[in-house]
Structure 1
């Protein structure tokens, strides 16, 4: 079994700036997918905001980030991050999901998404929000 955990930071309109900053501090390659890139624009003013982004460095640094859309609640003090668990095997991710889901609130069911073979989000009984997905290559 092999999977990785990554801190997933949440912003409201500042994700790209934050990713660029963290990339300049820690080194690494910044990748950004906007809501427009993904065909998921709900509010035209947010089309260029980050739907999914990350910085990865050869030194092991890795952080993910996105801009929480305006139709979703967001408070920097209440939900500034998610814990992201990404794996290559749908069965393994499904098994982890099943265990984490006990007593949780499912934000988005674990199911295929436009950007991943499987993607889901839940808030566990301790108030921690987890994002689980099966990795898919990005060819932007």
Structure 2
């Protein structure tokens, strides 16, 4: 048996921009269907909103997104995440984690995700990883980017 989980992000009118941004960062293919594509009258408010969208890469990155019907105004109201006295404090219910095999890969994704982002914790070596960082991107999504720790053979 096989199972795959996919993060599904909900936006307030900017799902298309977010998906296109994530494709520019991670590569792969983007698929977008609008409410209008699925039958909503073209002149109805929100017809150009994303009802189904995803970015999928051959390397395994996958994220889905849509625009919440009737919601506009761009950046999601997600709360806040910050570091204080060495502790991560947040009122968000989830983060999106990207685990890389190499520090070079992690740094490449980080540099691109960081454009217009709020850096919560800079990408740097940590006690558990050769590279770990956290940021909230310009769409309000908080990302953890890290490098899989290499454990010596037992």
How high is the TM-score relative to the length of structure 2?
0.45
More relative contact order in 1 or in 2 (CA 8 Å, sep 6+)? 1
Q: Over alpha carbons, which structure has the higher Rg?
A: 2
Higher strand share: 1
